[in-house]
Structure 1
Amino acid sequence: MDTAGKVFTRQELELIARLAQQHGAYVLSDEVYEHLTFPGGLPHVSIRGLPGMRDRTIRLGSAGKTFSLTAWKVGWMEGPERLLGPCVKAHQFLVFTVPSSLQRAVAGALDGADGQAFYHGLGAECARQRALLAPRLAAIGFDILPAEGTYFLVADVAKFLRDGEDDVGFAKRLTAEAGVTVIPVSAFYADASRAPRSLVRFCFCKQDSKLQEGCRRLEEYFGGAGNGAAAAAGAEAAAGLAP
């Protein structure tokens, strides 16, 4: 789940499924990160595969996440025809045109992916990159929140906030003064009054050289790896990556 990096357990999904069936509700299941769970952690479970849910669930997928093609903005829906039909009718009035050539390319990628080996490698690569970034951020002093998937890392920066500064101000300052850009988590809240004001999101689906350079800039800006190996070990444990 973006932004928290949470993977729902089967028991949690079964509860949602029971409630949906009990109240005659339909489920729109955003599963764009289905292949980006960390090895050794919780596996992805599709709620559409649970008993009684196939005919009341629309499942969403994304080429941007699965094939690292975020700029293409191509995705897909899976579900029963009686649910997809109205969605298609609504969709035609929401967009002016579609990139048909990119849609063909994504269809080819889905047909040509090397079985499960390709998909299993995605989560492993995300875990490796998180293991590269999290300890160095923790050593600087960032409080790293645990995550079970995706390629985002959320950190609490309360100790770094200046008087009157919130997550948005911190993100702007870090961009201008350190040359590293983060996303303020409050931006994801519709109700600003309920949003946390000290959480920011890092993205680590980058080349190792860029991650290393970003860490170097942060270490230089904040005065080095102040909390040392203990903080790094804590970050690995929080990320579920400790040996």
Structure 2
Amino acid sequence: EGSSGGRRHASEWFLDCEELEAAITPKTRLMVLNTPHNPTGKMFTREELEELAGVVRRHPDLIVVTDEVYEHILYDGNKHERFATLPGMWDQTLTVSSAGKTFSMTGWKVGWVIGPKELVSSVMITNQWIQFSVATPLQQAMAETLEEAEKPYKGFDNYYHYISDTYRRKKDKLVEALEAANMEPILPEGGIFIMANTSKIDFPEEYLKESTPACQKMTRDWAFCRWLTKEKGVAAIPPS
């Protein structure tokens, strides 16, 4: 049981850095770090990131891509720590951010990468052959939006505080709904997802016997989500 009145908390998840380092081989070139984490809602603390940085320092050829797209969607006073700001990590880190997640405009497909020139240059070359071109007017609009976001917004010091509070209220409401439905949510520290234990929910066994092109052997979470969508009209994502 967690510390929040018997509830489980995303902070209970942890990364075993010894196991991680044991998995690194001379052929390992890239590691992806996601914080706040999707879908667990886990936020890596400064201490955890420093331990991870120790692993990276021992492997100077290793590049870390940090997915920090939920950096402004934080709960319970949590503070986002950028991995690239740790001593020695700038030269080995590419930080990925997303306008879609921060400003609720995923259809724009606008984001950015921050890092040392030689790494960012490689991203630019690769990106040219992945999507060929970008929507330049949307990039310009986003650049101006980033400046505006620092200004007071709807009673908050800035837009970022507003969006964090907006998602907090939605998170609290969804947690209550999940508990009322006899599920056991894991309270997230950040991000827009909530993991929940659905083992107390019964649903028809025939859903476990189905198969789809995406899931030849139907796992319980897939079957549960299909049942929930088809019978209850509620869409969920199977974490497996």
**Shorter-normalised TM range:** 0.7 to 0.9
Work out the CA distance in 2 between the residues paired with 1:119 and 1:14.
Answer: 26
State how far apart, in whole Å, the 2-side matches of 1:32 and 1:152 are: 13
**Which of 135, 138, 150 matches 1:102?**
138
Matched residue SS, 2:235? coil
Alignment partner, residue 170 of structure 1: 224
1:158-196 CA distances to partner (integer Å, 9 max, x unpaired)?
22243363111221121111111111111xxxxxxxxxx
Show CA shifts across 1:37-76 (max 9, x none): 1142x31000111111122211100001111111111100
User: If the length of structure 1 is used for normalisation, what is the TM-score?
Assistant: 0.72
> Are 1:160 and 2:216 counterparts?
no
Gaps of 5+ in 2: 1-36, 152-156, 209-219
User: What letter is aligned with 1:149?
Assistant: G
Q: Does residue 101 of structure 2 align to residue 65 of structure 1?
A: yes
Match of 1:192 in 2: none
Cα contact 1:175–1:181 (8 A) shared by 2: yes
> Could you tell me the percent identity over the aligned residues?
38
SS at match of 1:184: coil
Q: Is the 2:76–2:189 Cα contact (8 Å) retained in structure 1?
A: no
What are structure 1's unaligned runs of at least 5 residues?
187-243
Q: Which consecutive aligned stretches of 4+ in structure 1 deviate over 6 angstroms post-superposition?
A: none
Task: State how far apart, in whole Å, the 2-side matches of 1:137 and 1:100 are.
Answer: 41
Q: Which has the higher helix share?
A: 1
TM-score (norm 2): 0.73
Q: Which secondary structure state, in structure 2, belongs to the residue aligned with residue 92 of structure 1?
A: helix
Matches of 1:30 and 1:161, distance apart in 2: 36
SS at match of 2:188: coil
Contact 1:39/1:123 (8 A) holds in 2: no
Q: Which amino acid aligns with 1:182?
A: A
User: Which one of the candidate residues 51, 55, 62 is aligned to 1:15?
Assistant: 51
- Contact map agreement 1:28 1:57 (CA 8 A) in 2: yes
Match of 2:174 in 1: 133
Q: Kindly tell me the number of residue pairs found equivalent between the two proteins.
A: 185
Q: CA deviation at 1:32?
A: 0.4
Q: Give the superposition deviation at 1:106.
A: 1.1
The structure 1 residue matched to 2:63, chosen from 26, 30, 39, is 26
CA–CA distance in 2 between the matches of 1:183 and 1:47?
28
- The CA RMSD over aligned residues, in Å, is 1.5
